[in-house]
A and B are shown apart, each in its own frame.
Chain A
Amino acid sequence: MWLFTSSVGRKVVMSVTGLALILFITFHMAMNLVAIFSAEGYNMVCEFLGANWYALVATVALAGLVFIHFAYAFWLTWLNRQARGNQRYAVTSKPKAVEWASQNMFVLGLIVILGLLLHLFNFWFNMQFAEIMHKDLVDMGGGALIAPHDGAAFIAYTFSKVWYVVLYLVWLCALWFHLTHGFWSALQTLGWNNQIWIERWRVISYVYSSIIIGGFALVVVWFYVKSLL
């Protein structure tokens, strides 16, 4: 099967899963913005995406995408280190045209995964997972009890803690770098590129990543500031 045995095939798997994940975080970001305008509206979204069969199927599919993207990243990085040979250069330099992110996608990806684990612990574990376990109220410690479908309350709770705000912003920063390269690189790998489009895709990558990460960061900062008032 060429998706396993050829270098381009393996890269196609990375591209397709990566683009699907970009599509996912686009929706995720749009839903998060609802929380700024209306807590009720946001909770309606939370209820819709709670422990329903379609949301659970989508969650499993999403986990599958992340796993494939992650597993292939490990595999490709290992293969590429082997292809580099045993002896490293004594002197190396980075040409100006080479983006920093493009040479550090694996490290950035690891930061994204660590942030994802924290994020699952903060939200998914208390919301969808709590619903699966038929919990009516989640004890957040210090006497704070929140219902699993009350997403707005979880957001307000999490981003009132300054260390979570910092960790989330660092995480989003790593994701921004990852996306700026990942987006156009995915299209290049799929062959949808040429001399003219390469610069266009690169600009689109930067703009699109900035919009998405900006949207996520806005929610984090908004609720932190709100907690101070």
Chain B
Amino acid sequence: MEKNINVKLKIWRQRGPKAKGEFKTYEMKDIPTDTSFLETMDILNEELISRGEEPIVFDHDCREGICGMCSLYINGHPHGPATGATTCQMYMRRFADGETITVEPWRSAGFPVIRDLMVDRSAYDKIMQAGGYTSVNTGAPQDANAILIPKDVADEAMDAAACIGCGACVAACKNGSAMLFVSAKVSQLNLLPQGKPEAAKRAKAMLAKMDELGFGNCTNTRACEAECPKCVSISHIARLNRHFIGAKLKD
């Protein structure tokens, strides 16, 4: 049942990467519970603009849970209290009338704040550039069905490929580790025959890049898996460990 609720938004405001940030509380009146969280943010920004204040900076793009841009840490959860959903897929019916909702940016050394709720996630791009690809010759591609892949392997690779690279795993991790992301990206390629020739190199290169960019050491708390909007499993982390250790022992 749709109804209107009043909420208080306690939002992190920070002018720039070096500036000192602080929380500011905004009262929101008569928000229909069918409004998505990002639409509520839009309503707030419209009000701020009409009052002549600076609107709140936050990342968003597709608003249908596939681009991985939205990145708010809401009431102690990356992407809010909903499970298996991104911030843009979460609606105001998740919150009670009169509730104070705390909204923070991802907090991790690997993801420095750019402004307000927007963080710099280009570290993930750098990790992808280190090995998240397959090298192929250009020219006429062969038929896709020429390489047979067992269904369970294809499914596992697809589950890994569901990772949208939003950074919720790092945001949730008490160690600021990016292992869930890196392992999903390594898995989606290493599982398939096309990715196998570069599997060992990929595991080493992507992990080395992750370490270099200041992400932490995984301690298997499983917080990443629990908060991942795509429910990526830590079994991929085990696979990355296996491929990495195997590659190092062979060297």
Contact = CB atoms under 8 A, between A and B. Distances in A.
Nearest to B241: A191
A87 B117 CA distance: 13
B109 interface: yes
26 contacts: A6-B211, A7-B179, A7-B216, A7-B218, A8-B207, A8-B240, A9-B248, A10-B217, A80-B175, A82-B216, A83-B109, A85-B107, A85-B108, A85-B176, A90-B102, A91-B76, A93-B77, A95-B226, A97-B226, A99-B222, A103-B174, A105-B219, A185-B219, A189-B220, A191-B245, A191-B246
Contacts of B21: 87
A8 B226 contact: no
Task: Kindly name the residue among B174, B221, B233, B246 whose own CB sees the greatest number of chain A CB atoms within 10 A.
Answer: B221
Given A11-B217, A83-B214, A95-B227, A90 B241 contact: no
Given A11-B241, A87-B113, A90-B23, 13 more contacts: A6-B244, A6-B248, A7-B218, A12-B245, A79-B217, A80-B216, A82-B214, A83-B177, A95-B77, A96-B226, A191-B245, A193-B235, A193-B238
Contacts, number: 147
A84 B216 contact: yes
B208 interface: yes
A25 to B, nearest CB: 21
A137 B209 CA distance: 60
A83 B215 contact: yes
B242 A80 contact: no
A138 interface: no
Contact of A97 (B177, B218, B222, B244): B222
Interface of A: 2, 5-12, 76, 79-80, 82-99, 102-103, 105, 181, 184-185, 188-195, 198
Given A95-B226, A188-B234, A6 B76 contact: no
Contacts of B113: 87
Interface of B: 10, 21, 23, 73, 75-77, 102, 104, 107-110, 112-113, 172, 174-177, 179, 207-208, 210-211, 214-223, 225-227, 233-235, 237-246, 248
A31 to B, nearest CB: 31
B76 A83 contact: no
Contacts of B174: 80, 84, 103
Task: Kindly name the residue among B113, B215, B223 whose own CB sees the greatest number of chain A CB atoms within 10 A.
Answer: B223
A84 B109 contact: yes
Contacts of A7: 177, 179, 207, 210-211, 215-218
A68 B207 CA distance: 23
Contacts of A87: 21, 107, 113
A102 B219 contact: yes
B216 A192 contact: no
Contacts of B227: 95
Contacts of A86: 109
Contacts of A89: 73, 76, 104, 107
B215 A6 contact: no
Contacts of A83: 108-110, 175-177, 214-217
